[in-house]
Structure 1
Amino acid sequence: MSEANAVFDDMVSRFDADQADGMDAIFQFNMEEGASYYVTIDDGECTLGEGDHDDPTVTLEMDLDTLKSVMTGELDGMAAFMQGKIRAEGDIMLATKLTQIFPQ
């Protein structure tokens, strides 16, 4: 299993269905190292897919270190976005909820 797979598996294992109540969204993650993953949240369920989704709600581009730092709380996601470490397209406000949906 790659390091990216491990990070995404860990993230999905922390999914908080209460925080995602009523959410229907697809988060596309394009990693600068070349891998792509997407997380689908629908009806209180969270699933992980590898590759590119054809219709993501929000697309986030970053390197693996940035993702790990944001998901562990070492780096604030909005700060990373403002510093240019994360690039986002689509429903950017949805991206701000990542640490609520996948708490530490």
Structure 2
Amino acid sequence: MSDIKVDGFKSSTTLAALAAVLDEYNDEEKKAQIKKTNGIFELRVKNAEGKEVVWTIDLKSKGSVYKGQAKSKPNVTLIMSDDTLQQLAEGKMDGQKAFITGKLKTKGNMMFATKLDGVLKAAKTRAKL
């Protein structure tokens, strides 16, 4: 899963860890997470140098994380900085606060975006990040 990591993006380590957690799930756990989430997140993340990377968390069919645009239409596209994603993943920032303060922008189903927090928390607990 090292193809997920991108130099200059701290949050890529978190996303690689999430991918590893999803890969470790047995079929039953993966099906439960897919059923619970039932959607696709596309993350557009910019670092301090202004470079952008796109990652996709597919919890609609595959239960995977990969670098690149969503292969099918995402439920929501989240646009944020590398620091914001890292703070969300670490639980140092609330998604609603990030949205209200303009640090997080969404395209698509804004209510679905609230499920990302649960996905990140489940992965953090399992991976002991």
- Give yes or no for TM over 0.5: yes
Partner of 2:45: 31
Partner of 2:14: 7
The structure with the largest helix share of the pair is 2
2:76 and 2:107 in contact (8 A); partners too:
yes
Partner of 1:62: 80
SS of the residue corresponding to residue 10 of structure 1 reads helix
The alignment's TM-score, normalised by the length of structure 1, stands at 0.82
Q: CA deviation at 1:66?
A: 0.2
The alignment's TM-score, normalised by the length of structure 2, stands at 0.68
SS of the residue corresponding to residue 96 of structure 2 reads helix
CA 1:79–1:34: 2 relative to 1, 3 Å: same
Give the unaligned 5+ runs of structure 2. 23-28, 125-129
* Cα deviation code 1:72-103 (max 9, x no counterpart): 10000110000000000111111112121221
* Cα deviation code 1:5-51 (max 9, x no counterpart): 312112334558556534321100011231111110035x5201211
Identity %: 24
Report the AA paired with residue 18 of structure 2: M
The structure with the largest strand share of the pair is 1
Structural RMSD (CA)? 2.2
User: How many pairs were matched up?
Assistant: 103
